[in-house]
């Protein structure tokens, strides 16, 4: 199909011409900056109608990450959410496509541009071909993402892990999934403890899972109860502790939890965050639970989230590794140990 070309003094004007001629679903296939005789610049956009059979993929070892053409509708969105840096991106369709994908998934504009800048995407260089931009940008994203296995055994020492977070984030279900996986896949001896004394039925739910798995489960109302339960669990490889959901604004309850699992106990904490939570609430939650010195993030309910960019924003803003990602209520299926490539696929290729 023959591409149509549109020229204007600014990107916005050229974009508007394409929209008026081909509609908001028209696809950009190339961009150029033209130098006039009077030394002024023109921007040229080559575009085709929406639905045209055009393919534009990044050819690289990261073949699962595909570049997409940017629609005029998306370009208008980007122009309304970015500053003059968009002009540099316009000169490189591969960078523009990747930038649009990141913004579309909810990655903060500043972080998205920073990733592309470190990948060299904003430099006007003849070596900035699509495959080079794709490879470098993926490497930058891989560098940003950190993962950790909290149950990696060291010297066969017992691992005690507490799961913390706000009400309804999925702590009890996540613990059940982990207990089943650690038993069935890793052949670990697992024990469960609940220190959730606020939610009606919390211990019954955990005990139901424990009975199905055939593992011990204790409830602790006070610190002395927790110490007793831990003594009973001395023969277990892994002990998982379920905690009550605390509002990120209820610092008194968070302090109570901190006292319960104080530093003198070798308990690692892991913060659960729902991907569907707003970015500001996610950051507030992490800051509020900071006194508990949690070691990893567990991102839950990805099946209920429209976008995945908040995960990248969170780990850039408050840098900590990701240990697990969960989706759905099925036990033990709907949980995966964090993997950089899988996280990238969720971010760049979910649709």
pLDDT in tens, 206-256: 999 999 999 999 999 899 999 999 999 999 999 999 998 878 888 888 898
The pTM is what? 0.81
Find out whether 210 and 256 touch, Cβ atoms under 8 Å.
no
pLDDT at 80 over 80: no
Q: Identify the weakest region by mean pLDDT among 27-31, 84-88, 132-136, 184-188.
A: 84-88
pLDDT tens across 248-287, in order? 888 888 898 898 888 778 899 999 999 988 889 999 999 9
Q: Which helix (H) or strand (E) holds 270?
A: strand 267-274
pLDDT value, residue 295: 95
**Confidence band for 31, pLDDT divided at 50, 70 and 90:** confident
Of residues 96 and 261, more confidence is placed in 261
Say if residue 148's pLDDT is above 50: yes
- 71 or 26, higher pLDDT: 26
Distance of CA 282 to the CA centre of its chain: 12
Start-end of H helices in the chain: 11-22, 72-81, 85-90, 93-104, 109-118, 130-144, 171-184, 202-213, 223-232, 251-260, 279-288, 309-317, 340-348
Q: What is the per-residue pLDDT for 61?
A: 34
Predicted confidence at residue 339, as pLDDT, reads: 92
Least confident of 15-24, 50-59, 106-115, 118-127: 50-59
Q: Is the peptide bond before 332 cis (omega within 30 degrees of 0)?
A: yes
Look at phi and psi of residue 17 and say left if phi exceeds 0, alpha if psi is from -120 to 50, else beta.
Answer: alpha
Residue 331 pLDDT > 50: yes
Q: Does domain 159-348 have CATH number 3.30.70.1060?
A: no
Q: What is the DSSP string of 278-291?
A: -HHHHHHHHHHTGG
Of the pLDDT bands very low, low, confident and very high (cuts 50, 70, 90), residue 53 is low
pLDDT of residue 66: 41
Scored b (16 or more CB within 10 A) or e, 237-252 reads: bbbbbbbbbbebeeee
Share of the chain above pLDDT 90, in %: 40
pLDDT at 57: 40
The pLDDT value recorded for residue 227 is 94
CB 137 within 8 A of CB 344: no
pLDDT, residue 124, reads 57
Task: Please tell me the predicted confidence (pLDDT) of residue 129.
Answer: 59
Give the domain ranges of the chain.
4-144, 159-348
- Name the pLDDT band for 99 (thresholds 50, 70, 90): confident
109 band by pLDDT with thresholds 50, 70 and 90: confident
Average pLDDT, the chain: 83
Q: Is the pLDDT of residue 307 over 80?
A: yes
273 forms beta bridges with 299
Whole-number pLDDT of residue 337 = 93
Confidence (pLDDT) at 62: 39
Q: What is the pLDDT of residue 340?
A: 92
Among 34, 36, 56, 29, which residue's Cα sits nearest to residue 44?
Answer: 34
Pairing label, strands 267-274, 296-300: parallel
């Amino acid at each position: 199909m023959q591409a149509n070309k549109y020229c204007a003094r600014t990107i916005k004007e050229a974009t508007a011409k394409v929209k008026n001629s081909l509609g908001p679903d028209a696809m950009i296939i190339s961009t150029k900056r033209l130098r006039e005789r009077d030394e002024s610049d023109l921007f040229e956009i080559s575009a085709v109608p929406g639905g045209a059979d055009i393919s534009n993929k990044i050819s690289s070892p990261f073949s699962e990450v595909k570049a997409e053409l940017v629609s005029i509708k998306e370009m208008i969105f980007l122009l309304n959410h970015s500053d003059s840096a968009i002009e540099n991106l316009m000169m490189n369709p591969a960078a523009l496509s990747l930038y649009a994908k990141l913004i579309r998934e909810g990655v903060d504009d500043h972080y998205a541009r920073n990733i592309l800048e470190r990948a060299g995407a904003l430099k006007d260089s003849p070596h900035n071909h699509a495959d080079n931009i794709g490879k470098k940008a993926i490497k930058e994203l891989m560098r940003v993402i950190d993962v950790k296995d909290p149950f990696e055994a060291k010297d066969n020492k017992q691992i005690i892990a507490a799961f913390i977070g706000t009400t309804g984030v999925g702590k009890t279900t996540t613990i059940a999934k982990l207990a089943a996986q650690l038993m069935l896949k890793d052949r670990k001896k697992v024990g469960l403890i609940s220190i959730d004394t606020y939610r009606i039925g919390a211990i019954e739910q955990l005990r139901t899972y424990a009975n199905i798995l055939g593992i011990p489960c204790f409830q602790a109302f006070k610190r002395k109860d927790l110490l007793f339960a831990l003594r009973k669990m001395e023969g277990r490889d892994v002990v998982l502790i379920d905690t009550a959901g605390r509002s990120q604004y209820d610092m008194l309850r968070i302090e109570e939890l901190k006292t319960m699992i104080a530093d003198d106990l070798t308990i690692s904490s892991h913060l659960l965050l729902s991907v569907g939570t707003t970015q500001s609430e996610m950051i507030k939650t992490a800051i509020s639970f900071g006194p508990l010195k949690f070691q990893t993030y567990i991102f839950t309910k990805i099946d209920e989230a429209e976008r995945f960019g908040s995960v990248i924003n969170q780990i850039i803003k408050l840098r900590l590794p990701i240990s697990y990602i969960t989706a759905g209520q099925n036990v033990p299926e709907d949980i995966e140990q964090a993997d950089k490539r899988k996280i990238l696929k969720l971010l760049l290729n979910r649709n």
